[in-house]
Amino acid sequence: MTIINSTSNKQVQLLKKLAQKKYRQQYGLYLAEGTRLVCDAIRLGAKVEQIYQSQSAYEKSPMENAVVLSDKVFETICDTVNTQGVLATIKVEQKPFSNGNCLILDAVADPGNVGTLLRTAAATGFYDVFLCNCADVYSSKVVRSAMSAHFLLNFHVVDLPTAFQTVKGMSVYCADMNGQNVFQTTFVEPFAIVLGNEANGVSQFSKDNSTEIVSLPMENQFESLNVSVAGGVLMYLSKNNWR
C-alpha cells in the first residue's frame, strides 16, 4: 500500500484547490466528504473521479481503488471537525432541463438553506433546480447539508431571465408573504416554485413573471418562516397526489 505523506503532492494540491469556487469551475470537480456521501455517489451513479481515504480509515475498511493519504495530510484537506477519513472528487454534470417540476432559487444566500432545499426537493420528486445569484451549489457546506441530493437533481446556475425563459409555458408559483393563501391553491403540473432571499424575499422580477403569488398563513403576528422551512412546506403541499 502506497501512502501519500506530503502536502505538496499534486493530488493533495488539487484537493485543496477544490475548496475554492474558481477551481471547482476550472476543473469541473467538487468534493463529497464522508462515508455516506461517497457511498451514495457510487450507488446513485454520480461521476466519481477518485476516492481518497486516510490511512486509518483504509486500514479499518478499505474502499476499492482508493488513494490513501496519511492521517495528517488528510486532515489538511477536510473542513469538518471529526473527519470520517473518506472523500471523493465528483465531476460536475451539465444535464438539459427535464421539463418536470422544478425550483427557482432567487438569491438564496445561506449555504445551509440551499442544501436543505435541495434535500427536500429530491425527497419530493422535483427534477431541476435553477440557482440564480445563490450560494455556490458545489461548496462543501451545501454538499453536506443536501445529503446526496446532488446525485439526484439537475442544477442550472443561470440568471433569473434565463430561468424564467426556460420554464416558459409552465405554471410558476412564487412564494411571498403578500400572496394568496397557498391552501387555496391547486398546483398544476408541471410547475416551478420560486423561493427568495432570506432577508429581502423574492425579487420584483420573479413576482412580475410568475403565474401566481402564494403565501403560508401565519398566526401570532409572524411575518415569515425560514426559506428552507417555507420551501419544504410548499414542496410537500404541491404534491397533489400525496393528499
| Average pLDDT of span 118-125 | 96
Q: Which of 72, 91, 110 delimits the end of a domain?
A: 91
| Average pLDDT of span 127-142 | 97
* 94 pLDDT above the threshold of 70: yes
109 alpha-carbon distance from chain centroid: 12
How many angstroms separate the CA atoms of 211 and 187, rounded?
A: 11
Q: Which of 57, 91, 125 delimits the end of a domain?
A: 91
* 240 pLDDT above the threshold of 80: no
75 and 189 inside one domain: no
Residue-number span of the structural domain to which 121 is assigned? 102-242
Distances (CA, A) of 83 to 3, 4, 31: 18, 18, 14
How many angstroms separate the CA atoms of 232 and 236, rounded?
A: 6
Q: What pLDDT, in 10s, does the model give residues 154-209?
A: 999 999 999 999 999 999 999 999 999 999 999 999 999 999 999 999 999 999 99
How many angstroms separate the CA atoms of 157 and 159, rounded?
A: 7
**Are 149 and 118 in contact, with CB atoms under 8 Å apart?**
yes
| Average pLDDT of span 96-112 | 97
Distances (CA, A) of 160 to 6, 121, 228: 44, 19, 19
111 and 40 inside one domain: no
138 and 182 inside one domain: yes
112 and 67 inside one domain: no
Q: Which of 91, 110, 135 delimits the end of a domain?
A: 91
* 223 pLDDT above the threshold of 90: no
The reported pLDDT for the residue numbered 132 is: 98
The reported pLDDT for the residue numbered 84 is: 94
Q: What pLDDT, in 10s, does the model give residues 49-75?
A: 999 999 999 999 999 999 999 999 999
Task: Convert the chain into a string of H (helix), E (strand) and C (coil).
Answer: CCEECCCCCHHHHHHHHCCCHHHHHHHCEEEEECHHHHHHHHHCCCCEEEEEEEHHHHHHCCCCCCEEECHHHHHHHCCCCCCCCEEEEEECCCCCCCCCCEEEEECCCCHHHHHHHHHHHHHCCCCEEEEECCCCCCCHHHHHHHCCHHHCCEEEECCHHHHHHHCCCCEEEEEEEEEEEHHHCCCCCCEEEEEEECCCECCHHHHHCCCEEEECCCCCCCCCCCHHHHHHHHHHHHCHHHC
The reported pLDDT for the residue numbered 224 is: 82
* 13 pLDDT above the threshold of 90: yes
Quote the number of domains for the chain.
2
Q: What mean pLDDT is reported for the chain? A: 95
* Percent of the chain's residues with pLDDT above 70: 98
Query: Is 97 within the bounds of a domain?
Result: no
CATH number, domain of 175, equals: 3.40.1280.10
Query: Is 16 within the bounds of a domain?
Result: yes
87 and 186 inside one domain: no
End-to-end alpha carbon distance in the chain: 55
The reported pLDDT for the residue numbered 80 is: 77
84 and 107 inside one domain: no
| Average pLDDT of span 83-112 | 96
Quickly state the pLDDT bin for 81 (edges 50, 70, 90).
confident
Amino acid at 74: F
Q: Is the dihedral of CA 28, 116, 128, 124 positive or negative?
A: positive
Quickly state the pLDDT bin for 242 (edges 50, 70, 90).
low
Query: Is 163 within the bounds of a domain?
Result: yes
Q: What pLDDT, in 10s, does the model give residues 24-44?
A: 999 999 999 999 999 999 999
List the grid coordinates of 87.
Answer: 472523500
